[in-house]
Amino acid sequence: MNQRTPRVVMDEFVAYRTVGSELQTQWSGQMAHLFEPGELELSGEVKGVRFTARGPESISCESLTAWFNTQTLMGLAGESKFKRAELKRFVEVSAGGNLLLTDYAEFDADSNVLKSDKAVKLEGLNRRFEGEKGFQYEVSGDKLELFGKITGTLTLSEDKKMPQ
């Protein structure tokens, strides 16, 4: 068995990215392994929040592997370009009052698309939908497509809002 050894290990961590004094993103988890070239594995109650003009966007999962366009650990800690990520187990994505739930998802930074072929649930104010064959979410355009058989409920009356 060929087991890789991480170059850096962090236990119970919180990491921040700021621009000047403005907080841009925050990540936390139980364990982080940094590998070369440009690979970062986070595990155990992984949580990430990105602060945008539209409001905070968050993700959580049990395990996340991210790849960056760098060949060194210093490049990974710096301004290296994010390429892609895999999110595994109990994946939750929250943005704009919507909550997306699945067990696996992939994010591609070039296309700015989060997608999965696993069953998915979408919950929000007055709506709840499920897609049995996955989804594709175009983050830039706020466009979500559910695949396979889709079931759900959309409540049109304001007095019959779904409980939070």
DSSP conformation letters of 128-148: EEEETT-EEEETTTTEEEE-S
Query: Residue 93 pLDDT > 90, yes or no?
Result: yes
pLDDT digits (tens, 9 = 90+) for 24-57: 889 999 999 888 778 889 999 999 999 988 889 9
> Could you tell me the sign of the dihedral formed by the alpha carbons of 163, 141, 104, 42, in that order?
negative
Q: What angle do CA 16, 60, 19 make, to 5 degrees?
A: 20
pLDDT score of 9:
84
- The pTM (predicted TM-score) of the whole model is 0.82
Band (159; pLDDT cuts 50, 70, 90)? low
% the chain with pLDDT above 70: 89
Q: Domain locations in the chain? A: 8-153
Domain 8-153 has CATH 2.60.450.10: yes
